[in-house]
Structure 1
Amino acid sequence: MRYIIHSNPEDIDVIFSLYDAGTELQKIVAKKHWQGFDRELIATDIREKRCWKIMEDDQMACVFSITFQDPFIWKEKDNDPAIYIHRISTHPNFRGKGYVNDIVRWAKEYAAANGKAYIRMDTGSGNDKLNNYYISCGFNYLGVVATVDSEDLPAHYKGGTSSLFEIQL
């Protein structure tokens, strides 16, 4: 059985193992890859109930986080009522099972229940296969933006570009 629930503090090591596996895949298929995440950032996501996991029976198959603001990437559009999906990572044994579609269905309900008009996400630009997958999941591709260097952004954003995606409810 597949379901989405909040992550909890006991999940943090498994979450980081999914991030590590995701980073290894990115190194193979993308021009850019994650540079690691601050453990406190993820612990905060968990504490603030913004880190979610997709369970397949009793195993964590996928993890993602949400936020309600992303000004460094979305600039003036950040004023819109939106949820932003970040750090989707799937366990290697569960890749290809359509979890982003599950996240989109969940996010539509969550966004509507929380008065949000948009679901947004970004990814490092240049990975056409991933971009096309997000489009197939219902996202509109909005183009590429240059990212600003900021201490508030993870290292993989520095000196690069991001592809932007959006679903309007």
Structure 2
Amino acid sequence: MPACTQPPPNPNPRANVPLQTVPVDLPRYMGRWYIIANIPYFAERGYVGSYAQWSLRPDGQIDDRFAGHKKRFDAPLTEYHFVDKVVSGSGNGEWRVRLFWPIYVTQLTVYVDPDYRYTILGYPDKSLGWIFSRSPDVSDEVYRSLLVRMEAMGYDTSRVRRVPQLPSQLGKPGFVSPG
């Protein structure tokens, strides 16, 4: 499939309702977040054991490191480094992510649970989305509840793919095949 192919139209009746960011306590939000599920962009496809590591920089920006193993847990760890900037007035819920100069994308924090164990990030047009957890494994009940949240926000949750975080998850129903 060519990289520029557009996804099918979003059938969710709330597809055109704009995403709303939530306030984020940045110091509490920093650290490692495992990618439990996503509607991936092309560079994320096929990764297992993937996570984001966020850390505040002295200049107020955020070091954003993506890491994961391509297709197999015994494959070398691939890492990408981005620099993010919080959008003023967003309550720390909207970030501009510099993929490479001069290309920036908008990342929206649309949910954080009160204990900062789970978060949902979105992209303004809902073509991309992520479910993150502080732990590499979440129960099916928690996962379903986070999908329900995404559905209520207008996401086409049929496009969300669960990312294997542990070798024991490979091949299990509901997890994306890294092949």
**TM-score grouping bracket, smaller chain normalisation:** 0.3 to 0.5
Structure showing greater radius of gyration is 2
After TM superposition, the score normalised by the length of structure 1 is 0.42
- Report the TM-score when normalising by structure 2: 0.40
Structure with a larger share of its residues in helix: 1
Higher relative contact order (CA 8 A, sep 6+): 2
